[in-house]
């Protein structure tokens, strides 16, 4: 399982040379092999690369959790803050220097448990920050307790007889707060995600990307790759992402459609 020093150096070299991935830092991700976050990062890297953003003009403000470690895996300015507070910090960064492209990157526990109070206000301020919400329905870094998005019945060490608390739907929440760019994306589809991420970055105002991801280490039952793969699908062809009512009605019925759910420029 351990990658030898030499193989590692080789890998880094390859990555550096491939133009597509130049945003990745020399510290390789310490995520578990198979973690959904690799796929999310890939889509993000592509988008950044294709938009030709200068690395020194990118700031990644990240939360606490496996997701938050993202700050160390990018060749960009990174600020790994305390648990749940990435959005206020990102607000400060962007207001200080609007020329920076600011990403807020954190997990579902970070953003929807301890940090849930900041999302509505981030939406209200509509500061041009791109929020990458890595939702694996678990507290990965603290070893797999249920999170606010865990399905009813989820068994974990914090819910030995199964979760009984209604899960939250971050996409719906963002819509109800009045968000102007809401995308729902599947970690396993970086190609599809790239274009949407680019569109969100270009959106003038706050954008939220709700990524469905898989924690292969602590979740062998619920949001597994297989379960995700079997369920995700594109938005219907007739879908109109400029219509809020339409979007909300759709989201109330379909939990697994992926794409730009709502956009209002």
Ligand X SMILES: Cc1ncc(C[n+]2csc(CCOP(=O)(O)OP(=O)(O)O)c2C)c(N)n1
Q: Which stretch binds a copy of itself (CB under 8 A): 33-41, 85-93, 108-116, 186-194?
A: 108-116
Contacts of 243 (CB under 8 A, 6+ apart): none
Among 43, 48, 62, 110, interactor with ligand X by CB under 6 A: 110
Residue 32 vs 235, nearer CB to ligand SF4: 32
Instruction: Show contacts with ligand X in window 26-65 (CB under 6 A).
Output: 64-65
Nearer to ligand SF4, 65 or 78 (CB): 65
**Residue 36 binding a copy of itself, by CB under 8 A:** no
Q: Answer left, alpha or beta for residue 34, where phi above 0 means left and psi between -120 and 50 means alpha.
A: left
- CB-count exposure of residue 260 (10 Å: 0-12, 13-18, 19+): buried
- What is the distance between the alpha carbons of residues 116 and 10, in angstroms, rounded to a whole number? 41
- Residue 265, SS3? coil
157 touches which of a copy of itself, ligand X, other proteins, none (CB within 5 to 8 A by kind)?
other proteins
Chain residues 137-166 in contact with Mg ion, contact rule CB under 5 A: 140
Taking CB under 5 A as the criterion, the residue among 106, 107, 111, 148 binding Mg ion is 107
Does residue 219 touch ligand X according to CB under 6 A?
A: no
Establish if 79 lies at the interface with other proteins (CB under 8 A). yes
Cα–Cα distance for residue pair 167/41, rounded to 1 Å: 25
Report yes or no: 134 and 41 within 8 Å, Cβ to Cβ: no
CA proximity to 27, closest of 11, 49, 50:
11
CA 47 to CA 144: how far, in whole Å? 30
Tokens of 222: 């619920």
The helix/strand count (H/E) of the chain reads as 9, 10
Q: Which residues bind ligand SF4 (CB under 6 A)?
A: 31-32, 35, 37, 66, 136, 140, 215-218
**Cα 146–Cα 147–Cα 153 angle in degrees, nearest 5:** 45
Binding mask 100-139 for other proteins (x = CB under 8 A): x------------xx-xxx-xx---x-------------x
Residue 61's binding partner among Mg ion, ligand SF4, other proteins, none (Cβ under 5 to 8 angstroms by kind) is other proteins
Residue 5 CB, nearest distance to ligand X (Å)?
27
The answer to whether 12 contacts other proteins (rule: CB under 8 A) is no
Q: Does 157 bind other proteins (CB under 8 A)?
A: yes
Give the footprint of Mg ion on this chain (CB under 5 A). 107-108, 136, 140
């Amino acid at each position: 399982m351990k990658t030898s020093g030499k193989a590692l150096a080789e890998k880094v070299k390859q990555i550096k040379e491939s133009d597509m991935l130049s945003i990745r830092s020399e510290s390789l991700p310490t995520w578990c092999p198979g973690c959904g976050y690799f796929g999310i990062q890939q889509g993000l890297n592509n988008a950044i690369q294709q938009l030709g953003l200068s690395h020194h003009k990118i700031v990644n403000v990240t939360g606490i959790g496996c997701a938050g470690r993202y700050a160390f895996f990018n060749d960009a300015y990174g600020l790994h803050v305390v648990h749940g507070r990435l959005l206020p910090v990102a607000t400060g960064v962007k207001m200080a220097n609007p020329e920076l492209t600011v990403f807020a990157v954190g997990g579902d526990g970070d953003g929807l448990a301890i940090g849930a109070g900041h999302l509505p206000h981030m939406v209200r301020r509509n500061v041009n920050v791109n929020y990458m919400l890595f939702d694996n329905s678990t507290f990965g870094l603290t070893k797999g307790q249920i999170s606010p998005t865990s399905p009813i019945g989820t068994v974990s060490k914090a819910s030995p007889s199964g979760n009984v608390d209604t899960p939250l739907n971050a996409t719906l929440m963002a819509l109800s707060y009045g968000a102007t760019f809401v995308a729902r994306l599947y970690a396993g589809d970086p190609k599809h995600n790239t274009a949407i991420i680019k569109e969100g970055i270009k959106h003038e105002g706050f954008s939220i990307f709700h990524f469905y991801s898989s924690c292969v280490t602590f979740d062998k039952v619920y949001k597994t790759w297989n379960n995700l793969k079997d369920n995700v699908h594109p938005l219907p062809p007739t879908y109109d992402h400029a219509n809020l009512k339409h979007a909300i009605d759709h989201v109330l019925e379909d939990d697994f459609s992926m794409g730009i759910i709502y956009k209002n420029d």
